[in-house]
Amino acid sequence: MPAALVISAPASGVGKTTLTLALARAWRNHGLKVQCFKSGPDYIDPAFHAAATGRASVNVDSWAMDRATIDHLVARGTDADIVLAEGSMGLFDGVATRGVSGTGASADIAEMLGWPVVLVIDPSGQAQTAAAIAAGLRDYRPGVRLAGVVLNRVASPRHEDLVRRALNDAGIAVFGALPRHAEISLPKRHLGLVQAEEQAEIGKLIDEAARFVAEHVDLDAVLRFAASWSPQPATNGLNVTPPGQRIALARDAAFSFVYPHMLEAWRAAGAEITTFSPLADEVPDANADVCWLPGGYPELHAGKIAANTRFRSGLRAFAETRPVHGECGGYMVLGAGLTDADGIRHEMTGLLGLETSFAKRRMHLGYRLAALAAPMPGHQAGARLRGHEFHYSTILAQPDTPLAVVHDATGAVIAETGSQRGRATGTFFHLIAEDR
């Protein structure tokens, strides 16, 4: 029977990902089978989890998914020795209005599955107050159980001693304390961590993190506090309709933001997926019946995409007879033009009239519930889809037929409706689940 833990924190940027990767690799090095999950809408961290464990990681999301879907996804941890679910943001951070089975908070997953929480606490600029924060998180929601804490970025032995004493007085276990260690810092960019596949030295970095954490954290004590967990029997698979029987999926450094559970669900439903690289000037598989362009970083490669005429003309030819769909970055590439951060406009494929700009930078972030006004691959008009939007582009023009009526998590209508023209469709949100 596997043991399970949620790795969380009071806020973002405290070190959850680094600790998760280090624990996963350290236990794997000791011969344990480790299964990771990511709580919340993050399409970057699961690739790091896979690099650390050698096993695919998927997202579980209480706002977008029902309990049956979550049970189905976590059932892949049945044969593991230890399951680690990495949280997002702070432990209780979610949206104001409840979704399918929660607000999207990591605490929802911890309570729903009965998995204790290991808190990563950064006590920089404080001492005993760190214990007050940990105690407040422990007591905030009765159904969420705190296993203990790992201190990160402690300044000195004296600093560590002050924090440890206060935590011990509060009855909170301290599994270890990590001094600052630049060698295990993961590089970042505007949408989060630099992707795992872009880092040639990622294996060495995770190994160093595992060595460092094993030196400063009592791994056996953490395991003792993990909860034995008996997964619920997975009844049905995911309720996901593939966009086609044979899917041409754009996949490279500019097009990589797609949730792993979606690809698995497409394959489980019998679809075939072939990949191609727009950055390598490749075109969709001629035998595919649909093309899907996921999000990613087209803004970092806009000049190359504009120069790759074989890709652009090939995609336009494909769209003459078969549907093409783009999510976020893919949606922008389906548009007429993309203006980069330097104010330079790059011609995109022109399948849609969308014009976007990163020169006028503005963050768009949040859950989305879309009611389709027109069909898109895999879904008929009227379908309700749950997803998440996160980008820094500004819409300069969106002249085509709106694809959907889109609401945020509070129910407010938003302007990012997506677009439809001919056989081309696109959305700014990344699809997580169909609304049942």
Q: Residues 169-220: pLDDT tens digits?
A: 999 999 999 998 755 566 554 555 555 566 557 888 899 999 999 999 999 9
User: 36 catalytic, yes or no?
Assistant: no
User: Which residue's structure tokens are 């966009």?
Assistant: 243
CA atoms of 32 and 357, how far apart (whole Å)? 47
Residue 237 lies in a domain: no
Pair 88, 219 in one domain: yes
Pair 133, 188 in one domain: yes
Report helix angle 202-216 to 45-53, nearest 10.
70
Pair 340, 388 in one domain: yes
Average pLDDT over the chain reads: 93
Pairing of strands 3-8, 117-121: parallel
Residue 204 lies in a domain: yes
Domain end point (choices 165, 197, 228): 228
Tokens of 69: 């879907």
Closest CA to 39 of 15, 18, 22, 64: 64
CA atoms of 283 and 275, how far apart (whole Å)? 9
Residue 154 lies in a domain: yes
Pair 216, 290 in one domain: no
Q: What is the mean pLDDT of residues 284-293?
A: 98
Residue 241 lies in a domain: no
Domain end point (choices 173, 196, 228): 228
Domain end point (choices 228, 254, 277): 228
Pair 367, 272 in one domain: yes
CATH of the domain at 59: 3.40.50.300
Is 406 within 8 Å of 413 (Cβ atoms)?
A: yes
Q: Which helix (H) or strand (E) holds 130?
A: helix 129-140
Would you state the pLDDT for residue 218? 98
Pair 150, 280 in one domain: no
Pair 30, 116 in one domain: yes
Pairing of strands 419-421, 424-427: antiparallel
Tokens of 68: 């049956």
Residue 302 lies in a domain: yes
Question: Would you mind telling me the total number of residues written for the chain in this entry?
Answer: 436
**C-alpha of 2 from chain center:** 24
CATH of the domain at 280: 3.40.50.880
Pair 209, 266 in one domain: no
| Sign (positive or negative) of CA dihedral 35, 36, 40, 41 | negative
Domain count along the chain: 2
Residue 161 lies in a domain: yes
Pair 382, 420 in one domain: yes
Closest CA to 368 of 416, 336, 332, 309: 416
Closest CA to 122 of 114, 130, 112: 130
CA atoms of 106 and 136, how far apart (whole Å)? 16
Closest CA to 227 of 121, 139, 130, 109: 109
Pair 255, 220 in one domain: no
Catalytic residue among 144, 258, 328, 370: 328
Pair 212, 256 in one domain: no
Pair 255, 222 in one domain: no
Would you state the pLDDT for residue 194? 57
pLDDT at residue 350 tops 70: yes
Range of the domain at 281: 246-434
Is 369 within 8 Å of 406 (Cβ atoms)?
A: yes
Residue 33 lies in a domain: yes
CA atoms of 355 and 414, how far apart (whole Å)? 18
Tell which wins on pLDDT, 193 or 316: 316
Residue 234 lies in a domain: no
Tell which wins on pLDDT, 318 or 184: 318
